[in-house]
Amino acid sequence: MMKKYLCLLLAALLVFSLAGCNKTTEEPKENLGIPVEITVASAGQMQEYYTVSGTASPIREATVVAKTPGKIESLNVSLGDSVSQGTLLCSLDKTDVLQSIQALNAQIAQANAGIETAVINADRAQGSGYEQTLMQAEMALTQAQSAMDQAKINLDLQTTNYENMKTLYEKGNISRVNFESVEAQYQAALSSYETAKVAYENALRSVELAQQTAEDNIVAADSGVTSAQAGKNVLLTQLEAAQTTLAEMDITAPIDGVIVMENAKIGEFATGALYQIADISKIQFKLSVPESMINQIYLGQSATVTINAAETTVDASVSALSPSANAQTGGYTVILEIDNANTLIKPGMVGTVSFLMNQAVETVIVPLETVITEDDTTYVYIEKDGTVTKTPVVVGMRDNETAEILEGVLEGDRIVSRGQHTVSDGVKVRVVKEH
C-alpha cells in the first residue's frame, strides 16, 4: 500500500514539474530591440572625383584625295597598314602626262633654236652692215653740205655783183651786153645753189632714213628675241605644270598614321576621298564640361581614363580648354591627350574620365547609405549600449560608397548601417551584425 502512495506522489510531482516548465516557456519574452547592423566609423583617406564621358579620337587625321584626275593604276597599301609621311599609297595612269611632257620638251628645243636665230638677227641689225650704210649716207650728206655751202658763197658774190651792175646799168654807166652777162652769171649761181640745196636735203633725208631703218630693224630684231623668249616661257610654264601633275599622280601619305579608310580601286577614276589616315600614337578625348566645373579644370591637369572596350585605365592630361561655351550644348570643351604607343585604344571608343578634385587623409569615413537627409537636416544613427541616437552631421566629400563626416561623428563611433530607416531617436536596438 505504501508503494502505491509513493508512486502516486512521484507522479503528482512529475506533473507539477512539467506544468511549471510549460508555464515558464509560455510567458512573453523580454523585448530585445529592433535588429540592426553596425559599421564602425573609421579614419582613412577620402578622394572626390568629377567624372565625365568622352569619345576617343586620333591626335591627327587626314583625308587623302587625288589632286589631279586619273585612273588608278596601282595600289601600295591596304586597310590597317601603318604608313609614314611620304609613303606611296597608290599611283595613277601617267601615259598621257608623259606624252605631254615629251611634246613640250620638243617644243622647247624648237623655241631655243628660234631664240638663237632671233639673237643673230638682232646682232646683225646692230652690226657692221648698219654702220657702213649710215656712214655712207653721212659722207654723202657732208659732201652735199659742202657743195651747198660753196654754192651759197658763190650766189652771195653773184648777187652783190648783179645788184651793183644793175644800179650802174640803170644809170647808163654800163652797156646792156655787160649787164646781161652779169645777170646770166647771177642766174647760174642761183640755179647751182638751189640744186645743191636740193641735193643736201636729199642727203639729209637719206641719213634720217638710214637711221630710222636701222632703228626699225633693231626694234624688229629685239622684238623677235622677246617674242621667241616669251613663247619659250609659256612652254616652260606648261612643262612645270605637267611635271607637277606627274608628281601628283603618285599619291603619298601626308602624315604618319594608320589607314583607317580605303576607297581606292585599280581601274577606277580617283574621285573623292581615297584614304583616311589617323595618327593614333596619341589619342584625344574631347569632353563637354558644365560651367559649374570648368574653372576647376586647368591645362596640364592629370586625370585617369577608363576604356571598358580596351579593358584598360590610363593616365591622361588636359591639353586644351575652350574659353567659351558651345552655343548648342552650353558646355565647355576640354581635350585630354593620352599616349597610345601600343595602339590599344581605337578611335571611337568611349571612356570615362575621372578628375581628382579633392582629397583628405585621416578623415572620418562612414558608408554613404548610413547618411540620411530629411527636411534639410542630415544625420546618422549612432548606437551605444543598445540604444541609438539621431546625430546631425556635416558631410564633406562623398563617392558612390562612402561619405566624409566633417562634424558629428568620431572615429570608432558605431553607426547604424542596416535598419537605419526603421529606427528613431532613443529606441532600443539589437545588433545582429557588426562591420
* Distance (Å, whole) CA 369 – CA 403: 9
Nearest alpha-carbon partner for 293 in 260, 257, 333 = 333
pTM over 0.75: no
Decide: residue 253, CB within 10 A, 0-12 exposed, 13-18 middle, 19+ buried: buried
User: Does residue 118 surpass a pLDDT of 80?
Assistant: no
Q: Give the amino acid at 203.
A: A
* Residue of 159, 178, 156, 158 whose CA lies nearest to 168: 178
Q: Which residues are registered as beta bridge partners of 377?
A: 374
| Full set of structural domains in the chain with CATH | 34-46+360-434 (2.40.420.20), 97-247 (1.10.287)
- 195: closest CA among 257, 160, 150, 134? 150
Rounded Cα gap, residues 75 and 251, in angstroms = 10
What is the percent of the chain with per-residue pLDDT over 70, rounded to a whole number?
Answer: 90
- Name the pairing type of β-strands 429-434 and 34-40: parallel
Q: What type of residue is 71?
A: K
> 201 near 142, Cβ under 8 Å?
no
- Mean pLDDT, the chain, integer: 87
Q: Sign of the C-alpha dihedral, residues 225, 231, 234, 238?
A: negative
| Residue 54: Cβ within 10 Å count | 20
CA torsion, ordered 363, 368, 371, 377, to nearest 10 deg: 80
- Between CA 334 and CA 323 the distance in angstroms is 10
Band (130; pLDDT cuts 50, 70, 90)? low
Q: What local confidence, expressed as pLDDT, does residue 189 receive?
A: 87
Nearest Cα to Cα of residue 242 among 95, 82, 65, 422: 95
Range with lowest mean pLDDT among 134-148, 336-350, 363-377 = 134-148
Q: How confident is the model at residue 224 (pLDDT cuts 50, 70, 90)?
A: confident
- The predicted pLDDT at position 213 comes to 72
Higher-confidence position of 92 and 177: 92
pLDDT at 31: 53
Per-residue pLDDT tens for 327-352? 999 999 999 999 998 889 999 999 99
Confidence of residue 25 (pLDDT cuts 50, 70, 90): very low
- From residue 343, give the alpha-carbon distance in Å to each of 245, 258, 279, 339, 368: 36, 10, 10, 9, 39
> How far out from the chain centre does Cα 302 lie?
26
Instruction: Give the Cα separation of 207 and 212 in Å (integer).
Output: 9
For the chain, what percent of residues have pLDDT higher than 90?
65
Backbone φ and ψ for 422, nearest 5 degrees, come out as -115, 0
pLDDT in tens, 7-20: 333 334 333 343 44
Give the three-class secondary structure for 121. helix
